[in-house]
Structure 1
C-alpha cells in the first residue's frame, strides 16, 4: 500500500505544465507538449488533470537583449484537460484538450488602450507511451518512449473587420503535427525520497492553409527538454524544481522563412504540490525566464503562473 501511494505521489508531482510557444512572435499558446510528464499509468488506471495557466508576454527581446516595451501588453490564459489511461502496465494513452484566451493591448496606437481579445478551443494532443524498463527496488529507474500527434481543433483563420489576424492571436495552429517523446526517472529509495526526472519532446510541424492556397503557414519545429527533482518535505507537501530548455526553428510562410520567429529559451519552473487525499492533489507553480535568445525582435514571456488539480481514478500510477 505504501509503495502504491509513493507511485501516485511522485506521478502527481511530475505533471508540470510548461510553456508551448509556437506563434509568429513566440507568444505562448496552450502548453501542450511540455505538459507530458506522466510516463505511464497501470492497467485500467485513469489519471485526470485540469490546469489553468496565466502567461504574461510583455517582455520584448532582440537577440538576447531586452528592450523597453511600454506600448504593448500581451497575455495568454489557457485551460487544459489531460487524461492518462493505462491500456496495459506498459502502454498508456494520453489525451489533452485546451481552451485558450489571448489578449493584446495598445498595439495599434502606443499610449492608447486599444485591445484585441480572441478565445476558443485550442489544439489537442494524443500520445501513446510505452515503458521499456519499469522501476523496481533492485533497478530503481524507469525508461519510456512515446509518439503521437497534435490535432488542429482550434481555429487558425480568425479575422476582425475583414482583416486577417496574425497567427499569434489565433486559438489554434491549423496544422497536424507529429510528436516524439521520451522519459527517464531515477529514485534512491530507501535511503532518500528524492527523485530525478528527465523528459524530451520533439514536435515536427505540418503546414496549414489559412485564407487561401497562397497563404500556407508552417510553425517552426520544436525541441523541449525538461529536467528536475522532486521531494516531500512535509507530510502531504512536495516541492518540484525543474529547468526547461526549448529551441524552435523559424516559422515559414509559403515556403519562405519568416523573420522575428524562432529562438532558444531556458526557464526555471518551481512548484509545490499538496495531497488533499489519496486520490486528490493540487499543485501551484510558475515559470521564470533566465535566458532567452530570439531571432530578430519578438515579444516573449515575462512570467507564468499556474494552478492544477489532479484526480486518480485507480489504485496506482507508475512513474
Structure 2
C-alpha cells in the first residue's frame, strides 16, 4: 500500500496594468507526505515542505464587453521549488515527490466567460497547456493539458452574496521521461550494467487522464472579501497503474483593492 498526500497553499496576486492587460503571480507552498508499506518490508515515511515553483503570467482581455470576456495569456514557471530532496540517506527522492520540477516551464492559457442571465447565471471555460523542460537530473515532467467548464449561479435574487458553482475539470498528463543507466538486479552481488546511456525514455507508470465534477460555494462577506470552497470528485481516472487521485478540496479567499492608482 502506497499513499501520498500533497497540500498546497498558494498566494495568487493579480494586478491590472491597463483595462485590458494584467499580470498574475502565483506563489505556492507545498507539503508532500508519502508512506509505502510493501509486503513485509519496513515502511519508509517521507515528508518535505517548502516553496514550490513560482508562476508569473501576462494576460490580455481581447473581448471586453458588458456580458462576455475572453482572456489570453502566457505564463512562465520558475524553478524556485527544491528538486534535491532525499528520501533517506543519500538516496534522492523520486521526482514526483519533489517540491519543484527543477527547470523552467511555459504555460499558454485561455479563459472565457459569458453572462447567460445578467447578474444571476455566469458561464465560464478555461484551458491551459504546460511544457516543462528537462532538468539537470535528466528528468522531464510530462506536458499537461488542463481544462474547466462550468456555471456560477446566484440562486436567490435576495442573496447576491451567495454564489453556487458547478463545474467539470479535465486534466491530461503525458508520460514523464528521463535519461538514465539500465542495470539488471543481481541477488548475488552488485547490479549488472546493461546500458550506460538510455536517452529520454518514457516512464510507463506516469501520465494520466483525470475528469472531476467540482461543486462549490462562494460567499461575499460585507463586500470586504469573497470566500470559496470547492470539492473535486473524480468521475474518471486513468493513472497507468500509478497512484490514483482521490477527492480533493480547495478553499480560499479573494480580496480586491486599489494599489498605486491601478486595479488589483
Regarding TM over 0.5, the answer is yes
Q: Does 1:91 align with 2:21?
A: yes
Which residue does 2:95 correspond to in 1? Answer: 167
Change (3 A) 1:154 1:108: farther
CA contact (8 A) 1:108 1:114 kept: no
RMSD, aligned CA? 2.0
1:284 maps to which of 210, 229, 245: 229
Q: Which residue of the partner structure matches residue 168 of structure 2?
A: 243
Partner of 1:218: 140
Q: Of 249, 252, 256, which residue of structure 2 is paired with 1:312?
A: 256
Alignment of 1:196-207 (within 5 A): 196-207=123-134
Q: Does 2:9 correspond to 1:79?
A: yes
CA 1:117–1:310: 2 relative to 1, 3 Å: same
By relative contact order (CA 8 Å, sep 6+), the higher-ranking structure is: 1
- For the 8 Å contact 1:239–1:272, the answer to whether it is kept is yes
TM-score (norm 2): 0.85
Please, what TM-score do these two structures have when normalized by structure 1? 0.71
Whether the aligned pair in 2 keeps the contact of 1:279 and 1:313 (CA below 8 Å) is no
Q: How far is the alpha carbon of 1:111 from its aligned partner?
A: 8.2
Matched pairs, number: 238
Greater share of residues in helix = 1
What are the within-5 Å matches in structure 2 for residues 61-210 of structure 1? Answer: 71-107=1-37, 114-136=44-66, 140-159=67-86, 160-190=88-118, 193-210=120-137
8 Å CA contact 2:109–2:129 kept in 1: the answer is: yes
Q: CA deviation at 1:317?
A: 7.5
Q: After superposition, what is the alpha-carbon deviation per residue over 1:123-160, rounded to whole angstroms, capped at 9, x for unaligned? A: 11011000111022xxx221111112111100111112
SS class of match (1:300): coil
Higher relative strand content? 2
SS at match of 1:250: coil
Q: Structure 1 stretches (4+) deviating beyond 2 angstroms?
A: 106-114, 314-318
Of structures 1 and 2, the larger Rg is shown by: 2
- Structure 2 residues without counterparts, runs of 5 or longer: 180-199
Distance (Å, rounded) in 1 between the aligned partners of 2:232 and 2:25:
23
**Counterpart secondary structure, 1:299:** coil
